[in-house]
Amino acid sequence: MEYNFKMFLLSFIPLFVAIDVLGVVPLFISITHEMKSYAKQKLVTQATLTALIVAIIFLFGGKMVFNYIGITEDDFRVGGGTVLLVLAVYELLFATERVRTPDPSIGVVPIGIPLIIGPAALTTLLIIVDAYGYIPAVVSLLINLAIVWLVFRNADHLNKIIGKAGLKAFSKVAALFMAAIAIMMIRLGLMGMIRSIK
């Protein structure tokens, strides 16, 4: 399967929405506001690396488990697309605050996991692997985590420029894109199932 810009967007956008870095900026600020600048920057790097390691392990290990128990690509497209659609609709209609509220203590684990990489992001990674392969999944993961690193390092400035309302609005627009992509995944999965029956 040839890797192109369209495939990049289809793998990047769902993971970007699942991580929702702009949506968690206010929470990140609230749990790190008492830290000195140097300590905060170090924490951001540690948290991002933690998220990367966990995501890579789950990406390759999770895929092997699904292959072993016989879950097909079309099965996962329909199931995973449905999960993404529910998450997108919830984000659009009901979410007011982040569900992934970490433990109030400051540390790599609550920030890296699950604030950066939570269940939604891990599920999205597996969907991307089934739909487009490992290369798009890893590339989209690396770029998304680079964005997380940059945004968190500049979280205070970003919050002042855009504001809480602006960050929330951006998250809603991204969720709308995610809903459309989820429906596309469900459609492709159902078409694949129908073809396999014939």
Q: pLDDT by residue (tens digit) across 34-61?
A: 788 888 888 899 899 999 998 999 888 8
Q: pLDDT by residue (tens digit) across 99-114?
A: 444 443 444 566 787 7
With b for 16 or more beta-carbon neighbours within 10 A and e for fewer, the 137-164 pattern comes to bbbbbeebbeebbebbbebbebbeeeee
Number of domains in the chain: 1
Which range of residues forms the domain containing residue 172? 5-197
| DSSP conformation letters of 113-173 | IIIIS-HHHHHHHHHHHHHH-HHHHHHHHHHHHHHHHHHHHTHHHHHHHHHHHHHHHHHHH
